[in-house]
Amino acid sequence: MNAPGDLRSDAPHFARDRRSGQYYRDTFSVVTKTGGDFLFVKSFNEWIEGTEIEPGRSYGDLYLNLTCELGNRYRGK
């Protein structure tokens, strides 16, 4: 499972700084080493939790572009 980060202030033990996409890249790297048949990205638009990859003011389309790039790499394209 991969996620871009998590900004929940109500559950700080889950909080992960996005580090401008580096956390997303790092978790993709770890997941790809497992050799699994599929990859699950949690989540698309969880704005409340701060895990959205949907385009927005804070990150633009960075996470959609990263998902495409890293997904293609995962599939060997």
The angle formed by the CA atoms of residues 46, 39 and 36, to the nearest 5 degrees, is: 155
Q: What is the pLDDT of residues 10-20, one digit of tens each?
A: 666 667 788 89
Q: pLDDT grade, residue 52 (50/70/90)?
A: confident
Domains in the chain, number: 1
With respect to residue 7, please indicate whether it lies within any of the assigned structural domains. no
Regarding predicted confidence, which is higher, 5 or 42? Answer: 42
Host domain of residue 55: 12-74
Does residue 3 lie within any of the structural domains?
Answer: no
- Cβ neighbours, 10 Å, residue 77: 7
Is residue 4, in this structure, part of any structural domain at all? no
Q: Residue 27 falls within a domain, yes or no?
A: yes
Would you say residue 5 lies in a domain?
Answer: no
Exposure string for 33-56, b = 16+ CB within 10 A, e = fewer: eeeeeebebebeebeebbbbbeee
Question: Is 52 part of any domain?
Answer: yes
pLDDT of 2 over the 60 cut = no
- Residue 62: what pLDDT? 96
Supply the pLDDT for residue 9. 58
Task: Compute CA 4 distance to the chain's CA centroid, rounded to the nearest angstrom.
Answer: 3
